[in-house]
Amino acid sequence: MNKIKTIFKGKFLFIFGPFFLLWLLRYIVPNYTISSKTPHWAYIPPKSCLGGCGSIDGFIPFVDWTNALIQFLRKYEIFGLFTFRDFTRGIANYVDKFLDFTEAVLHKGFPSYEIGPLPWIFIITLTVILGFYLRGWRLALLGGTCFAYLILFSKRGIWELSMKSLAAISVSAPLAALIGLCLGILAVKRKKFANFLWPMLNILQSLPHFSYLILVVIFVGIGTKAGVIATVIFAFPPMARLTILGLQNISQEIKEAGVMAGCTKWQMLFKVEIPAARSPIMLGINQVIMQCLAMIVIAAFIGQPGLGHDLLIRLQGLRLGEAFEIGVAVVLIAITLDRYSQALALKEPERREGNFVKRNPYLCATFFAIIICSILVFLFPFFNEYPKELTVSASVYLDNAIKSFTRSLFVPLGIFRDWMLIYFLMPLKAVFQSMPWTGVILFVGAIGWKLGKMRLALTVMLFVFFIASSGYWVRAMITLYMVFASLVICALIGIPLGIWASKKESRTKLVLNICDIFQTFPSFIYLLPAIMLFQISDVSAIFAIVIYSSIPMIRYTVFGLRNVPQQIIEASITSGCTERQLLWKVKMPLAFPEIILGANQTLMFALFMVMIAGFIGTVDLSQEIFRALSFSDGGKGLIIGLCVAFIGLTADRLLVEWSNQMKKKLGFIN
Amino acid sequence: MNDQIKISCSNIWKLYGENPEKFLKENNNNPSTEQLKSNKYIPAVRDASIDVKTGEILVIMGLSGSGKSTLLRCMSKLIQPTDGQVFFEGKDLLKASDKELIEIRRHKMGMVFQHFALLPHRTVLQNVAFPLEVQGIEPIKREDRAKEVIKLVGLEGREKYYPRELSGGQQQRVGLARSLAVEPDVWFLDEPFSALDPLIRKEMQNEFLRLQNMLKKTIVFITHDFDEAIRLADRIAIMYEGLIVQVGTPEELITKPATDYVAEFTKDIPRSKLLNAESVMNNEDKKLYDNTVNCKEKIEKIASKVLKSEGSYSVIDENKKVIGSLSKKEIIKALFAEDKNE
């Protein structure tokens, strides 16, 4: 009882007080009814206060301003020579040159020299050898299986589609990695640049893809090169981040050793710093590749051909069997590239002694493989082009299986869906929609203030104010409701699963491995089962979000629980704790800061997935973005994108700060 | 030759805080502890002046946070001191250009680090050859030289190993080899053996003495281990909270500690191992007795025979000249030192 009293006296009242007061007032304020067309300004943000700007419904016309800027960039000629758009298109043409080459190698061939594309036998053999070199036979088997699947199931052209996608990736991934590396190095060497780069990376990484797809369309156009450029913009931030972290974490002594050896600045960079940070940098490359794969489907929206494009068309046509086949291809490629690049990141140089062949076994193997494959291709056309009649397709069976599966589950799934909608989602949506924007600003401000940071409070209040003033408040609250609902479900699934998994080493390994595999799936794949099970509704969107974003919740819970210091656990056991007491009185409180971080990550994942779920027709911000995309309305796309980014950043700032303060209290960090 | 000064540091200050240069100037280059504390400056090195003589082993010794590593880094200009001067062979290091510094480091300085600081992506051979590589020496030449030094530190046959394949002691041998590859005049060692376990540490100290006997470098050696300091040092500088409290030979520190802090340090040192006949003898009594001892003999070696005999021993120097005498009284005094200090 006492405890409740103190809570009400202290933080609780301070944080929630003004918020609830405003919320309740809503029903007391005279002249206000829910159905009223002109709600009170304190609850629903008013429209167009500045007047005259007209077209957009925000009371600050950000969208108009942004569109004006875009127009300016399109039309204004720098030095009277070329416009910004000419400049970006010029860059895109250079990208196109590289693209021509990779496309020729992988699927078009060089018609002018009468050379065909690289035969499939080469690709499989070289992948297998690379797998052996990087880690061993398991990796080689994975790589071989992946490409074998692609060639075997290419009745509907999966092989060609994959090669198209891989051609795009093999331009965008190196480009993104290079840009990220350079920016990262620059940020480490120039403090001022770092101060500028960090917030940019934060915003870039929390902007939904679709909002800059529109800008890419405006400034570059559509097609493969536009897709590549969009992919590069999306994929370079993690590389820059990991480069910065890697370079900053080099031990001081190693740098001093470099200086004392008399290195010049460039020698330091290339001979000491970059090699010493090679693991994080390689992990950055792994991240870049994964981001590029995630973009396979998204870039299809602006006309990049390949696996993504066909997957999208089949999803739209609800041809789920075929979509499933392509989905498996995307997943296999994703897992293969992920494991290969991870192996590359963790690869330690090996000591080999003896003659040339013994020292360079893989180089020799590659050499012989190329000779043998060349002979095979020359003698048998089978090895040059895999005959169509030997390909298979399971899509018909899959379609039937999916149909009978959903048919048999139609009734229970329907009941579940309706139950969720009526008793959980709809009421929650109503609650979120009735939240007054002024109250929300006060709420986040109060939390920021309570965490002891004036600056933090002001920043998050500004973020929320931006959303309210931009004219998309109502839509943003729908987005927030979906994210929140998913977060609750993710916590209900993820935390117990994490607790279960942390109990035994073998379970932890199993669960983390499954998480790993799930995380490599490109996000669009999750829409497949969602549509299969729940058709088009909020439930299917939330289902997709939940599968995708439970992963960090589980991961962080396991991590937090397993990282409780062994000494403390032993001390508790010798104090006579039961298993249950150990969990709730010792482990959970100590793991709580990590679990909060997990919730934060889950929220970010959910926000990302909500945007993709807009594809199956939710009515939140994502729908507006899709609309902006089809009208090429760059300003609108960008402003809505910023709204989404600011939702994410607000939550991120507050949760991370909270977790850090708890960790400090527990003495985990200084 | 022996008393030539290789590195001369005068009035070195290193403060951490906001705009320490200005603060130092405002306080006449000599702020007090209270002033530093009240203005939230952290003094790493305070007003340190010390000369390193050519060919000597100078050990800088102190507990962690006493500023010994910072002082060493000021000497090699890895850290820019807030104030003060460092002369290396008469050249003002703090005024040297980047280019000159690179030249000095490439040819005259070698440094060994506590955690070895080996480059993980390079083999032993490539690590040792690294300082030569950055100078632009051609591959065959630098590898020959690297092999020589690897042999010198006793790691023959491990040239192609990667650092992760070696034990701590072996890794530090690579560190020693790398720092010696350019044949430096001055050898900086920053707690080189602290990360090793005690047995290996002893072995490495012997190795170090063996190398120094051959190479005769000028050495600045950092340690927090007083036993290590007295084993290796010609002179020891003791630092406490950024100040150099006392500089002297091991004997001087024990027999004439400048402050209580130094005395506290030297208290537990087995004196018999350290003090020699000269430092404990009776200076007044210069008679020639039947028995004599050399003035450089350690007490440990002569104590039992002096205590067994009834009479006194004469202490003679290298020229067989009597410079003092030893009786039971002096030996007992030396062995139970605390009484003597009081």
Domain boundaries, chain B: 5-108+184-266, 271-341
User: Taking all residues of chain B, what is their mean pLDDT, rounded to a whole number?
Assistant: 86
Q: Is B10 helix (H, G, I), strand (E, B) or coil?
A: strand
Mean of the pLDDT values across residues A108-124?
Answer: 82
- What size, in residues, is chain B? 342
Please list, in sequence order, all residues whose beta carbon lies within 8 angstroms of the beta carbon of residue A549, skipping any fewer than 6 positions away.
A486, A487, A490, A602, A603, A605, A606, A609
Measure A192 CA to nearest chain B CA, in Å.
18
Closest partner CB to A256 (pick from B117, B133, B161) = B117
Token pair of A378 as six digits: 């020359």
Measure A130 CA to nearest chain B CA, in Å.
20
**Domains contained in chain A, CATH given:** 78-111+159-322 (1.10.3720.10), 421-666 (1.10.3720.10)
pLDDT for A537: 79
pLDDT, one tens digit per residue, over A323-379 is 888 888 998 999 999 999 989 888 888 777 778 888 888 888 889 888 888 888 888
Q: How far apart are CA A429 and CA A421, in angstroms?
A: 10
Partners of residue B117 in chain A, C-beta under 8 Å = 251, 253-254, 256-257
Partners of residue B119 in chain A, C-beta under 8 Å = 254, 257, 272, 275-276
Nearest residue of A to residue B73, measured between CA atoms: A256
Kindly state whether A254 is in contact with chain B, defined as any CB-CB distance less than 8 angstroms.
yes
Closest partner CB to A351 (pick from B119, B135, B160) = B160
Say if the Cβ atoms of B134 and A351 lie within 8 Å: no
Q: How far apart are CA A625 and CA A639, in angstroms?
A: 9
For residues B313 and B281, the answer to whether their CB atoms sit within 8 Å is no
Alpha helices, DSSP H, located in A563-617:
566-574, 579-581, 588-613
Residue A606 CB-half CA count within 13 A: 29
> Sign of torsion, CA A474 A477 A479 A482?
negative
Residue B110 CB-half CA count within 13 A: 25
Which residues make beta-bridge pairs with A527? none
Q: How far apart are CA B293 and CA A13, in angstroms?
A: 87
Please list, in sequence order, all residues whose beta carbon lies within 8 angstroms of the beta carbon of residue A537, skipping any fewer than 6 positions away.
A417, A421
DSSP characters for B62-112? --TTSSHHHHHHHHTTSS--SEEEEEETTEEGGG--HHHHHHHHHHTEEEE
Closest partner CB to A257 (pick from B102, B117, B161) = B117
Give the closest residue to B314 by CA, choosing from B283, B287, B280, B275. B287
Cβ-Cβ pairs closer than 8 A, A with B, add up to 72
Measure A438 CA to nearest chain B CA, in Å.
41
Closest partner CB to A264 (pick from B102, B118, B179) = B102
Nearest residue of A to residue B100, measured between CA atoms: A262
- What size, in residues, is chain A? 670
Measure B134 CA to nearest chain A CA, in Å.
6
CB atoms within 10 A of CB A627: 14
**This prediction's pTM:** 0.83
In the sheet that B5-16 helps form, which strands lie side by side, from edge to edge? B42-53, B5-16, B83-88, B91-92
pLDDT for A50: 44
User: Taking all residues of chain A, what is their mean pLDDT, rounded to a whole number?
Assistant: 85
Pairing of strands B57-61, B91-92: unpaired
Say if the Cβ atoms of B102 and A263 lie within 8 Å: yes
What burial class does residue B317 get, using C-beta atoms within 10 Å of its C-beta: 0-12 exposed, 13-18 middle, 19+ buried?
middle
Mean pLDDT comparison of A14-28, A175-189, A525-539, highest-scoring range: A175-189
Closest partner CB to A262 (pick from B105, B122, B165) = B105
DSSP characters for A80-96? TTEEHHHHHHHHHHHHH
> Sign of torsion, CA A37 A40 A43 A46?
positive
Pairing of strands B109-112, B186-190: parallel
Give the closest residue to A518 by CA, choosing from A475, A552, A469. A552
Token pair of A553 as six digits: 């919740």
Say if the Cβ atoms of A257 and B165 lie within 8 Å: no
Say if the Cβ atoms of B164 and A348 lie within 8 Å: yes
CATH class as words, domain B271-341 = alpha beta
Say if the Cβ atoms of B134 and A278 lie within 8 Å: no
For chain A, the farthest-separated pair of C-alpha atoms sits apart, in whole angstroms, at: 92
Token pair of A50 as six digits: 């500045």
Say if the Cβ atoms of A351 and B131 lie within 8 Å: no
Kindly state whether A347 is in contact with chain B, defined as any CB-CB distance less than 8 angstroms.
no
Pairing of strands B5-16, B218-223: unpaired
Closest partner CB to B78 (pick from A259, A276, A349) = A259
Greater confidence, A273 or A155? A273
Give the closest residue to A668 by CA, choosing from A608, A603, A594. A594
Residue A34: pLDDT over 70: no
DSSP characters for A205-264? HHS-HHHHHHHHHHHT-SSHHHHHHHHHHHHHHHHHHHHHHHHHTS-HHHHHHHHHTT--
Q: How far apart are CA B36 and CA B53, in angstroms?
A: 32
Give the closest residue to A137 by CA, choosing from A283, A359, A145. A145
A447-451, B21-25, B132-136, B295-299: which range is least confident on average? B295-299
Tokens 């527990």 appear where?
A666
Pairing of strands B5-16, B57-61: unpaired
pLDDT for B3: 62
CATH class as words, domain B5-108+184-266 = alpha beta
For residues B194 and B224, the answer to whether their CB atoms sit within 8 Å is yes
Q: From the candidates B112, B127, B130, which should be mutated to test the interface with A, based on the most A CB atoms within 10 A?
A: B130
Give the closest residue to A444 by CA, choosing from A430, A428, A458. A458
Say if the Cβ atoms of B121 and A278 lie within 8 Å: yes
Partners of residue A267 in chain B, C-beta under 8 Å = 134
For residues A613 and A545, the answer to whether their CB atoms sit within 8 Å is yes
Give the closest residue to A269 by CA, choosing from A174, A175, A182, A173. A182
How distant is the alpha carbon of residue A465 from its chain centre?
Answer: 26
Q: Is the ipTM value over 0.90, yes or no? A: no
Q: How far apart are CA A250 and CA A188, in angstroms?
A: 12
Say if the Cβ atoms of B160 and A353 lie within 8 Å: yes
pLDDT for A35: 45
Token pair of A292 as six digits: 């590029």
Token pair of A169 as six digits: 């990736």
Say if the Cβ atoms of B119 and A353 lie within 8 Å: no
Measure A360 CA to nearest chain B CA, in Å.
15
pLDDT, one tens digit per residue, over A72-88 is 887 777 766 777 788 88
Q: How far apart are CA B229 and CA A341, in angstroms?
A: 49
Please list, in sequence order, all residues whose beta carbon lies within 8 angstroms of the beta carbon of residue A595, skipping any fewer than 6 positions away.
A495, A498, A553, A556, A557, A560
Which residues make beta-bridge pairs with B276? B298
Say if the Cβ atoms of A264 and B114 lie within 8 Å: no
Residue A128: pLDDT over 60: yes
* CB within 8 Å of chain B, chain A residues 616-635: none
Token pair of A101 as six digits: 């080459």
pLDDT, one tens digit per residue, over B243-276 is 999 999 888 888 888 888 888 877 777 777 777 7
Quickly state the pLDDT bin for B49 (edges 50, 70, 90): very high
pLDDT for A41: 65
Q: How far apart are CA A518 and CA A609, in angstroms?
A: 14
Nearest-Å Rg of the Cα atoms of chain A is: 27
pLDDT for A255: 93
Say if the Cβ atoms of A351 and B162 lie within 8 Å: yes
Q: Is B3 helix (H, G, I), strand (E, B) or coil?
A: coil
Kindly state whether B113 is in contact with chain A, defined as any CB-CB distance less than 8 angstroms.
yes
Quickly state the pLDDT bin for B339 (edges 50, 70, 90): very low
Partners of residue A278 in chain B, C-beta under 8 Å = 121
CB atoms within 10 A of CB B267: 13
